[in-house]
Amino acid sequence: ASSFVPNRMFAFTSTRANQDRAVDLVAVDLDGTLLNSSSRVSTSTAKALAAAAASGVRIALATGKARPAAHNAVRTGSLAVSRGAPGIFLQGLVVHGFGGKLLPGEYLPSGVVQRAFSFAKENGVSLSGFLGDTAICLQMDSNLRELHERYHEPLAVELHSVEEVLAAPPVKKLLFMADPAIVTQELRPRWEHALAGVAEVTQAVPTMLEILPLGASKGKGLHQMADHMGISTKRILAIGDGENDIELFGEAGISCVMSNASDHVKSFADHVVASNDEDGVVEALERFVL
């Protein structure tokens, strides 16, 4: 049975014979790619995903989101993802392989976590620490509520001190959330300089800055997942739009970038498809899978 199925019946057709197909798995980003500007999966995109899954192609979400958040986001298109589905979450820090098996992952150094939460507390900046399927913060605010309500992320649990944060389970990913100008002009330069050679700094959307363990990426997660599943990365189609999808494009045999991506990100992909508001994922699936 497919691990990526419609909650309701869709009518679809697949004209490509299985033996002619060059793709065994589709790794698809969420924000800016599978999700439109309203953070929803369109009906057309849901139909195309259901058709791809029904034809025998595996669908793997490849996102910076936590796994529960990603699955909740997909449900906006009346699709359901089973517990046995493969997937790449938290920018490649949480990877589920064959049968949904959780594969070994990495964590941030405690010193990085301490510095980030101390900075956030002293400067009143929104910061969430992701432990896996759950998240923590020092102070709930409107940004972190938006992270939960709009972006489907787990509602962060408030802790009372940096010491309590360090006593919690290890943090996999840190996420600052602020006005795009603050992220670009203040937060990103500061943390890229402070964490050079210690941790990765990346962005998926303009209002968020993410800090990851050194070397972590969706591309590394894709390689780990494909190796566990016995799938050649040459037979994987990657679809994305963000800076954090560049390594994903590099690992996949075929890569499609959304037209809403920056010119810099587009330069790393094999093909450009329509935007996330114009069913670009459908275009990619029709060209290479269906």
Residue with tokens 């691990």: 3
Predicted confidence (pLDDT) at residue 9 exceeds the cutoff of 50: no
Residue with tokens 């890569």: 255
User: Under 8 Å CB-to-CB from 159, ≥6 apart: which residues?
Assistant: 136, 137, 138, 165, 168
d(CA 173, CA 113): 9
Q: Which two tokens stand for residue 21?
A: 């197909």
pTM here is: 0.87
Q: Which two tokens stand for residue 3?
A: 């691990």
Mean pLDDT computed over 162-180? 97
Predicted confidence (pLDDT) at residue 43 exceeds the cutoff of 70: yes
Nearest to 181 by CA among 207, 147, 155, 143: 207
Mean pLDDT of all residues belonging to the chain: 92
Tell me what percent of the residues of the chain surpass a pLDDT of 90.
Answer: 88
- The confidence score (pLDDT) of residue 148 equals 95
Predicted confidence (pLDDT) at residue 7 exceeds the cutoff of 50: no
- The confidence score (pLDDT) of residue 220 equals 97
Predicted confidence (pLDDT) at residue 280 exceeds the cutoff of 90: yes
- 102, HSE (Cβ side, Cα atoms, 13 Å): 10
